[in-house]
Amino acid sequence: MNYIAAIGKYFIMVGEVFKKPTKWRIMRSLILKEIDELIYGSMGIIIFISFFIGGVVTIQTALNLNSPLIPKSLIGFATRQSVILEFAPTFCSIIMAGKVGSYITSSIGTMRVTEQIDALEVMGVNSLNYLVFPKIIAMLLYPFAIAIAMYVGIFGGWVAGAFGGYAPSGEFVKGLQLDFIPFHITYSFIKTLVFAFVIATVPSFHGFYMKGGALEVGKASTTAFVWTSVVIIILNYIITQLLLG
């Protein structure tokens, strides 16, 4: 019953976020600050993870395709499909749930504990709009980060394949171009946008409604990461079933 109440409260919160907007001049600077913090600040980890995941996918695919009848180009094909369909959007989103999600929960949670949110409310500011809306808008740029993750992941696969001796460069590139379906990119960006919304709002919910002191801020961050990951995984299944199933 508590879970149902929390889900209801989450959707009410989301509704409140879009009410009584903050003055555009102030909101613009908040959005730019959040883009810097949430997207630009995460590029390093996204690029790092994507490169090595791409490499690992290539190596594992190559090691499993040991029949001489299977062309080496399939390694490039499998890497492309795995990175575009799953690793870039979903794996990076789980990492972002940890990095960005815990930042969002702890920053909003600390504002709750130190009564800064009460101060906003007393002034007549819609604190949910002020705090959460810029994060949602900033996260609309998340698909751009994932596009880079796709590119870097495939590049990492090519590096591992070509320089590790698993797939010749030409074969790998041939595989990358094999049976390319543009809708897979669309599918990937659709789910990335949904995950972006989840990463912006679920941790905000846990930070905004937390109770207690500094210890509870830490607990709320952990809970937010767990729930954001759970929601991402469930939505990943639903979106895949709806769009590709």
Partner 1 sequence: MIEVENLHKSFGEAHILKGISTTFEQGKTNLVIGQSGSGKTVFLKSLLGLFEPEQGKICYNGDYYWDLTSAEQRDLRQQMGMVFQGSALFDSMTVQENVMFPMDMFTKQSKGEMQDRVDFVLKRVNLIDAHEKYPAEISGGMQKRVAIARAIVMNPKYLFCDEPNSGLDPKTAILIDNLIQEITQEYNITTVINTHDMNSVMEIGEKIIFLKDGYKEWEGTNKEIFKTDNEAVTNFVYSSELFKKVRQMYIEERN
Question: What would the two tokens of residue 133 be?
Answer: 């809306």
Member of 7, 20, 214, 222 binding partner 1 (CB under 8 A): 20
Radius of gyration of the chain (CA): 21
Tell me whether residue 100 or residue 239 sits nearer to partner 1 (CB atom).
Answer: 100
Question: Which range in 66-74, 79-87, 95-103, 115-123 contacts partner 1 by CB under 8 A?
Answer: 115-123
The answer to the question of residue 118 lying near partner 1 (CB under 8 A) is yes
Tell me whether residue 3 or residue 24 sits nearer to partner 1 (CB atom).
Answer: 24
The answer to the question of residue 244 lying near partner 1 (CB under 8 A) is no
Member of 6, 26, 230, 234 binding partner 1 (CB under 8 A): 26
According to CB under 8 A, which residues from 155 to 214 bind partner 1? none
The answer to the question of residue 114 lying near partner 1 (CB under 8 A) is yes
Query: Do 17 and 132 touch, CB atoms closer than 8 A?
Result: yes
Member of 119, 181, 233, 242 binding partner 1 (CB under 8 A): 119
Tell me whether residue 130 or residue 172 sits nearer to partner 1 (CB atom).
Answer: 130
In the complex, least distance from residue 122 CB atom to partner 1, rounded to whole angstroms: 4
According to CB under 8 A, which residues from 123 to 152 bind partner 1? 123-126
Q: Which residues bind partner 1 (CB under 8 A)?
A: 20, 22-23, 26, 110, 114-116, 118-119, 121-126
